[in-house]
Amino acid sequence: MTDAPGARGTARPATPHPHPATAGHPTVLTGATVVLPSGTVENGRVAIEGTRIARVEPENAQVIDVTDHYVIPGFVDIHNHGGGGASFTSGSAEDVLRGIHTHRLHGTTTLVASTVTGDMDTLARRAGLLSELAEQGEIAGIHFEGPFISPCRKGAHSEELLRDPDPAEVRKLIDAARGRAAMVTLATELPGGLDSVRLLSEHGVIAAVGHTDATYEQTVQAIDAGATVATHLFNAMPPLGHRSPGPIAALLEDDRITVELINDGTHLHPAALQLAFHRAGAHRVAFITDAMDAAGFGDGRYWLGPLEVEVADGVARLAADGTIAGSTLTLDRAFQRAVAVDGLSVEDAVRALSATPARLLGMSDRIGSLEPGKDADLVLLDAAFELKGVMRRGEWVVGPQLG
């Protein structure tokens, strides 16, 4: 997705609300409903010292009363193409940082930057830039969505740039990412697909089944070869059928698979979301945004590679044929919808937005839950699940808004 010349939006990203009195200062949040791995604690306390959650409340800490609020772990987004008018696929490092910051304002404290289909040389160069940001700790890795996907299920990807998943070309992207490749989405039924899955698994990169026209049997083969993620389950794949169950049934039934869900009210009917949760459970669901440039920015015209995208009423579609082209979702909205509309428990929503994606990235020792020694990444929500504060590594990105 690109922020090519001519891209425009009618809004601007929100500005941070700093809380300078507590920035970097030992802090204790009191009176909150705190969601912990062991359960929810009423009238709880969370202590922060430096960049970490403290086991013992530090001396001279500033105490902030957050009664009637929830404190939950920072959100982890493993599939995100941009925001704030900026794309992770094009533009400068400053543009990418603007998109990252937009999502941090909405509670996403850990983010994997996703690319879209392009020619191999362009993707390799982009991987170089994004890997530098990963080395600086700004992103948790790179996700290549395309070009190794099915033309039958291409969605908003340029068909002219698609190609079969030749393991040598997959390896080229891995090498270009300099150890920062987190995930590659492939149509594993294409020639070279299974060998590419094995290659990714050997190199510690997540192989994700997506934008696929695979049968049930072909998907089972991909899982056995090492695939562990379903890219935005239900979208860009054959529907579930009673005689031809296709990839959805195979991905839902296998405990080795984590399924991505886009909970924006557009990509999924609530019944489909409930089906995924009932079959897979919160420990196998990762809510994602699949966000594009317009997230946190506004309606208008944008570009997805050579494809023009029209965003109206917060829904992104290709101008040519109306195909959904990513989302404008932020994870605070996904959380609120999960609890207030879909009826999920707060604990299950937290797991799908924080703990499960953190585990998938191999980062559970640092992020994904509120435990002593982990990064002080947290989100403050009011009783209506509206975002009222964001802390990342002990610093307020959005200072507490309590009045």
Q: Which residues are catalytic, by number?
A: 290
DSSP for 143-192? EEE-SSS-GGG-TTS-GGG-----HHHHHHHHHHTTT-EEEEEE-TTSTT
- Round the CA-based radius of gyration of the chain to a whole number and report it: 20
Element (H, E) at 63: strand 62-65
* AA letter at 60: N
First to last CA, the chain: 38
* Measured distance CA(186)–CA(173) in Å, rounded: 13
Query: Across 74-141, where does the E strand assignment appear?
Result: 75-80, 82-83, 86-87, 108-115
Q: Which of 14, 156, 158, 157 is nearest to 85 (CA)?
A: 14
CB distance 177 to 130 below 8 Å:
yes
* AA letter at 29: L
Neighbours of 94 (CB within 10 A): 8
Q: Which residues does 67 contact at the CB level (< 8 Å), separation at least 6?
A: 30, 31, 32, 43
CB distance 163 to 148 below 8 Å:
yes
* Measured distance CA(86)–CA(224) in Å, rounded: 37
Q: Which residues does 310 contact at the CB level (< 8 Å), separation at least 6?
A: 301, 316, 317, 318, 319
For tokens 């992770």, what's the residue?
88
